[in-house]
Each structure stands twice: as structure tokens, then as C-alpha cells.
Amino acid sequence: MSRKRSSVKMTSTLLLASISPSTSSKFCRLSLLLLLIVALMAFSTVVASPQSLESNQKFTQCIRLAEILSGEGINVSQQVELLNRAIVYLEANQTEAALPLLDEAYQQLSEMYEKLPSVKLRENLERGAVILALAATPALFYYFFPRLYALVWLYNRRSYIVKQNKKARK
């Protein structure tokens, strides 16, 4: 283990010895400059304006509402189209053009979300009515078909005249 440490120390001293004083100061300046550039790049991606933060929050709310509504079976394709256009503007760093689209999409999605319980109730009532009609069909057929058949038969044979057979009386 001591051999490995000594070889590392030797390598580092050889590396430092091979760098002349003028080269070492240039190396330090260059490394400091690169470090400064990397630090500035990291901070430039983190810093955001209040408008972009507001648009990001509104965008995430719109996405959440669109997910909920589409999961419930409501058509949100127009609102998704608005959000797609807003994404294009946000990627182009044009938040002024994206905010009205986000506001419109959010307004429409929130209205749909408020109407969701009544829409679900109407859909459930419609399904119940269809199920009830299908379940009642055999009973209604059993009750009404013989009566309807008799009425149609009598209507079609109303012109028939019943004659008395004289031979049958005797």
C-alpha cells in the first residue's frame, strides 16, 4: 500500500516539476476561466423570470386538469392543441405569446372540471336507461306480442265472412 502512495506522490511531483512557472500560471488562469464559465452556465439555467415560473405553474395545472378530464372520458383535444401551441412559444422563449394561450386553455379546462359531476351523472343516467330498456325488452315482448299479433290478424281478416254450413247442422 505504501508503494502505491509513493508512486502517486512521485507522479504528482514529476507533473508539477515538468510545468514551468510561466506555464503553471497560464494553466491556473485557464482553469479558473473554465471554472467561471461552467459556474455561470449552471446559474444561467437555474435563474428564471417570474413570468416563466407563472407560465410553468399554469402549464402544469393545465396538464393535470387535462389528464383528469381525459381519464373521465371527456374530449380535451382542443385544449391540448392550445397547450401544444403554447409549448412552441415557450420553447422559443416567447412567454408573452404563450400566456394568453395558457390562460385560455386553463379557463376552458377548469370550466370542464367544474361541470364534471353533472356530466358524469348524465352519462350514468343514460347508461342506466339503456340497461333498463334492454332488460325490460323480453318481458314487454312476452306481454304485448300476443295482443299485437291478435290485433293484426283480426285487422287483416276483417273482410272474411263466416257462412253457416247447412250440412253441419243436420
> How many domains are there within the chain?
2
C-alpha cell at 48: 428564471
Binning pLDDT at 50, 70 and 90, where does residue 146 land? Answer: very high
With respect to residue 38, please indicate whether it lies within any of the assigned structural domains.
Answer: yes
Q: Are residues 37 and 62 in the same domain?
A: no
- pLDDT at res. 163: 77
What range does the domain containing 85 cover? Answer: 50-126
At a CB cut-off of 8 Å and minimum separation 6, what does 5 contact? none
- pLDDT at res. 92: 86
More confident residue, 1 or 80: 80
Confirm if 59 and 84 have CB atoms less than 8 A apart.
no
With respect to residue 80, please indicate whether it lies within any of the assigned structural domains.
Answer: yes
Q: Are residues 59 and 121 in the same domain?
A: yes
More confident residue, 22 or 89: 89
C-alpha cell at 1: 500500500
Q: Return the percentage of the chain with pLDDT > 90, whole number.
A: 40
pTM of the full structure: 0.52
With respect to residue 122, please indicate whether it lies within any of the assigned structural domains.
Answer: yes
At a CB cut-off of 8 Å and minimum separation 6, what does 106 contact? 58, 61, 62, 65
Q: Are residues 91 and 79 in the same domain?
A: yes
Average pLDDT over residues 83-110: 89
CA 15 to chain centre: 58
Q: Are residues 58 and 120 in the same domain?
A: yes
